[in-house]
Structure 1
Amino acid sequence: MLFSFLSFLLVFSAILVISAQNPVHSVFFLVLVFFTSAFLLFLLEVEFVSLLFVLVYVGAIAVLFLFVVMMLDIKITKYEKDLLFYIPIGGFLGVIFFLEVFLSLQENLVPFLPSSGREIYTDWLSVIDSLTNLNVLGQILYTYYFFYFLIAGIILLLAMVGAIVLTLNFTQKAKHQFVFRQILREKKNSMYLVK
């Protein structure tokens, strides 16, 4: 019951992210998407990834989005008639996507998937010696996917630099320092007596 409610809330808030007219409201709905997905992962007993969702996505990226949206002074545009043209196309692509997902989950369509039946025999030694989610995630992330991990860090760095560049205001009235000219000044030209 709780899983179904959180799934419905996740899908509903994800739809509101792309359909809200105010960009600040879109970012708030995006934060709600991240929180509900973190709760869903917590219900699935993937605690570490759930905490990562809250810390990384909500704590850093969504707050960065919110500050960028609030600082950029984005004009709120009304829906135009041209936007209504894309609704049937998006609906058609969504139906195709859900049909593809439904067909790929059929067991006879993908023959290399194991059967969904329960095994009678339980290997208790493998249950006792099994690794935790954190150990498995760390081993896989830092051995097989270390290149993608570094690329993700570079992308986050570029996003942070881009947000800083977007919020800078370059005006003509701003005072600038010319370090080379300051270094070349002589004592006789820079010091004088005021009477």
Structure 2
Amino acid sequence: MDTLTLLFYTFSFVLVYAAFRVITAKSAVTAALHLVLAFANAACVWMLLEAEFLAISLVLVYVGAVMVLFLFVVMMLDINIDSIRQGFWKHFPVAGVLGAVIAIEMAFVLTRGFDMPTAKAFAPEVAKIANSKALGIELYTNYLLPVQIAATILLVGIIAAIALTHRGRKDSRSQNASQQVKVKKADRLRVLKMDPVIEQPSAPAESATNPTQGGQA
């Protein structure tokens, strides 16, 4: 057994263990940390398979951004795992059947995909360029339409999430752009004609103390 094979089995074993701990850990923080470990080992496996772009993307996007944000959310919300785990065994048979079906479908697709003659025919040409460049060429030439459809679906999901979670505050002040466009000059400024008011001079106020009486103290 050479070094690459030993590293592959080591990273794969740690990856499977971390993925198992993600679904069996009682604490949400522990599950999130094991998920970070699983992502890191998956990136190592991709590095061994000479897929550097995917490995770096996994570390930067998932480990560096998504999981850190998820950890902050979990620790700030203090989620009660016991209430979430209620009814786990009740829905376990249905979940097990669906998981088995998904695993069989993925295995069928992957095994058929690896045996494609076109992939073997273009393997020497693809090996001459970097994998990140080859991935970009494939995504934006042969798979441009699926990429655009996926981006549109993600955009719709983001807008739907914002619309569902948005709650208008009563104390917030906002302006209606449509009403501002329809504003006319007469609505903003109104000139009033008023008669001038002439104020009458007021009588001088009497002194509080009489000077004649001031000397008779």
In structure 1, the residue matched to 2:36 is: 31
Cα distance in 2, alignment partners of residues 138 and 104 from structure 1: 22
**Structure 2 vs 1, CA of residues 99 and 74 (structure 1 numbering), >3 Å: closer, same or farther?**
closer
> Which structure is higher in RCO with an 8 Å CA cutoff and minimum separation 6?
1
- 3-state DSSP class of the match of 1:45? coil
Aligned counterpart, 1:114: 117
- Change in 2 beyond 3 A, CA 1:158/1:56: farther
Alignment partner of 1:52 is 2:24:
no
- Residue number among 5, 10, 14 corresponding to 1:9 in the alignment: 14
Gaps of 5+ in 1: 181-195
Q: Percent identity?
A: 36
CA contact (8 A) 1:34 1:58 kept: yes
TM-score, normalisation: structure 2: 0.55
Number of residue pairs matched by the alignment: 161
Q: Which runs of 5+ in 2 are unaligned?
A: 1-5, 176-217
Could you give the per-residue CA deviations for residues 50-92 of structure 1, whole angstroms, max 9, x where no partner exists? 0010001111100111111112221231654x32233344444
Matches within 5 A, 1:132-171: 132-143=130-141, 144=144, 145-149=147-151, 151-152=153-154
Q: TM-score with structure 1 length normalisation? A: 0.61
CA 1:155/1:58 → structure 2, altered by over 3 Å: closer, same or farther? farther
Whether the aligned pair in 1 keeps the contact of 2:126 and 2:134 (CA below 8 Å) is no
* Structure having the higher Rg: 2
Tell me, what secondary structure is at the counterpart of 1:67? helix
Q: By how many angstroms is 1:48 displaced?
A: 1.1
Alignment deviations for residues 108-146 of structure 1 (CA, whole Å, 9 cap, x no partner): xx9x8339xx99xxx97x478x32111112223344124
Selected match of 2:92 from 72, 78, 87 = 87
Q: Contact 1:141–1:149 at 8 Å: present in 2 too?
A: no
Match of 1:65 among 56, 70, 85: 70
How far did 1:2 drift? 2.0
Distance in 2 (CA, whole Å) between partners of 1:90 and 1:41 is 29
